[in-house]
Amino acid sequence: MKTFFSRILPLVMLVALLTLTGCPTKEVTSAKVYISQNNWDKAIEQLEQAIQITPKDPEAHYLLGEGYGNKGMWDKMNQMFNASLALAPTFATQIKNTREKYWVSSFNQGVSKVNAKEGQTADLEGAINEFASAIQIDPSRVEAYKNLAYSYLRSNNTPSAIATYEKYLTVNPREVTILNEVTRLYMEAKDYSKAEETAQRTLAIDAANLDAISNLAMAYDLGGQNDKALATYETALAKNPNDQDLLFNLARLHYLNKEYDKAIELFQKVITLNPEDYDANLNVGNAYLTMADDLRKSLVEKETAKQTVSDADVAKLKDFYKAAIPFLEKAIAVKSDNSAIYYNLGVAYINIGDQTKGAEFFNKAEQLRK
C-alpha cells in the first residue's frame, strides 16, 4: 500500500518555514509603531536590535537606513540600504526614492546658499556642507561634485577643489573639460608634475584636444622643461596658429633662451592680433634693447682689442635702438605707470641722436620714481 506522507511532509515544512521568516520580529513591529509616531530615536533603537537578532532581514536593514537618513547619518544610511539590497530587491524602489529625496534637498539647499539674493553674502561654508552631504547620499550623482568644487574655489581653497574634482573623475574619468580644469588648478597650485600627468591623461582620451596640449606645454614650461615646452607649444600652434596665449608663451620661451629674433617675430604676431597687448609690445621693445646692448658690448670689446668697428656695425646698433622705440611708446600708451619704460625710451632716443627726446623721457622716469 502506497503512502504520500514522505512527499507531503517536506512541503508542509517549507510552507511553515516561509510563514515563519515572512513575519516581522517584534523589534521590527515595535519600530514601525515608533515610526508612525515619528519617534525615530526609539525606532532606530529597536531596529538596531532587530538586525542583531535577524541579520538577514532586508526590511529591518531598509527601515534602519530610513532612520539613519532621518538623522542625516548618510554613511550609515547607505550601509543599511546596501545591506538590504544585497539580501533582496524588495525595497529597491523605496530606497531609490529616499536617496533621491535627500539628495535633491541637500543639492538645492547648496545651490541656494551659493546663489545669495541681492544684498546678501553667499554662505559658502553652508553650501560646501550641503554639497558634501549630497555626495555622501548618492556618490554616483556627479552634479554635486562640480558644485562642491566650485564652492571651494569661491572660498579660495584650491587643494580641496582639486581633491573634489579628482573624486568626480573616479565616477566619470573621461570628462575632458574637468580634466583640463584640474590641470589648470594643479598649475595654479604650482604642482607642475601633477599638471603634466593630468594633461597626459586628457590627451590619452582626446589626442587632438587643444586645451590639453596647451596645458601640457604650460606645465612643461612652468616646470622648467624648456625643450619639451617648446616642442609642445609648436604642436599646439600648428593646430591653432592664432592663439594669442600660445604665441606669447612660445615667444617668451625664445626670449628666455636669448633667441631674440624668434621671440620678436612671435610677439609681433600677438600684436597683429591685439595691438593693445601691453606685455607683447614691451617685450619686443626690450628684446631690441637687449640686442642693442649685446652688440654694444661686442663693439666695445673690439675697440679695446684695437679691432676695426665698421660703419655697418654702428648702423646696426642704431637700428636696434630705433626699432625698440615704437613698441616701448605703445606700451606706455597702454599703461603709463612704469618708470623703467620711460628710462629705456630715454636710452633709445639718446642712442639714435635725439638728445631732446632722450632728456624728456629721463625726466619722466625720474618723476615717476619720486
> Which of 55, 73, 90 represents a domain boundary (last residue)?
90
> Which of 90, 106, 135 represents a domain boundary (last residue)?
90
Q: What would the pLDDT profile of 75-101 be if each residue is shown by its tens digit?
A: 999 999 999 999 999 999 999 999 999
Structural domain includes residue 285: yes
Structural domain includes residue 160: no
Q: What confidence score (pLDDT) does residue 309 get?
A: 86
Q: What confidence score (pLDDT) does residue 314 get?
A: 92
Structural domain includes residue 157: no
CA dist 331 → 88, 318, 345 (Å): 73, 21, 11
Residue 297 belongs to domain with CATH number: 1.25.40.10
List CB contacts of 212: < 8 A, sequence separation 6 or more. 176, 179, 180, 183, 199, 202, 203, 206
Structural domain includes residue 43: yes
Residue 5 phi/psi, 5-degree rounding, is -60, -35
Q: What confidence score (pLDDT) does residue 208 get?
A: 87
Return the half-sphere exposure (C-beta side, CA atoms, 13 A cut-off) of residue 84. 24
Q: Which domain holds residue 333?
A: 270-370
Q: What is the pTM of this model?
A: 0.73
Structural domain includes residue 339: yes
What is the dihedral sign for C-alpha 105, 110, 115, 117?
positive
Look up residue 310 and give its three cell numbers.
Answer: 665698421
Look up residue 236 and give its three cell numbers.
Answer: 599646439
Number of domains in the chain: 2
Q: What confidence score (pLDDT) does residue 321 get?
A: 97
Q: What confidence score (pLDDT) does residue 23 get?
A: 67
Look up residue 368 and give its three cell numbers.
Answer: 615717476
State how far the Cα of 85 lies from the Cα of 199, in Å rounded to an integer.
Answer: 39
Q: What confidence score (pLDDT) does residue 21 get?
A: 45
State how far the Cα of 10 lies from the Cα of 370, in Å rounded to an integer.
Answer: 105
Nearest to 134 by CA among 158, 85, 167: 167
Q: What confidence score (pLDDT) does residue 332 get?
A: 96
> Which of 90, 119, 141 represents a domain boundary (last residue)?
90
Q: What confidence score (pLDDT) does residue 340 get?
A: 95
Task: Identify the H or E element spanning 353.
Answer: none
Q: What confidence score (pLDDT) does residue 9 get?
A: 35
Q: What confidence score (pLDDT) does residue 120 get?
A: 80
Q: What confidence score (pLDDT) does residue 19 get?
A: 36
Do 237 and 264 meet the contact criterion of CB atoms below 8 Å apart?
Answer: no
Number of H helices and number of E strands within the chain? 19, 0
Do 84 and 104 meet the contact criterion of CB atoms below 8 Å apart?
Answer: no
Q: What confidence score (pLDDT) does residue 153 get?
A: 96
State how far the Cα of 62 lies from the Cα of 79, in Å rounded to an integer.
Answer: 10
List CB contacts of 181: < 8 A, sequence separation 6 or more. 165
Do 74 and 133 meet the contact criterion of CB atoms below 8 Å apart?
Answer: yes
Residues of the chain with pLDDT under 50: 1-21
Q: What confidence score (pLDDT) does residue 117 get?
A: 74
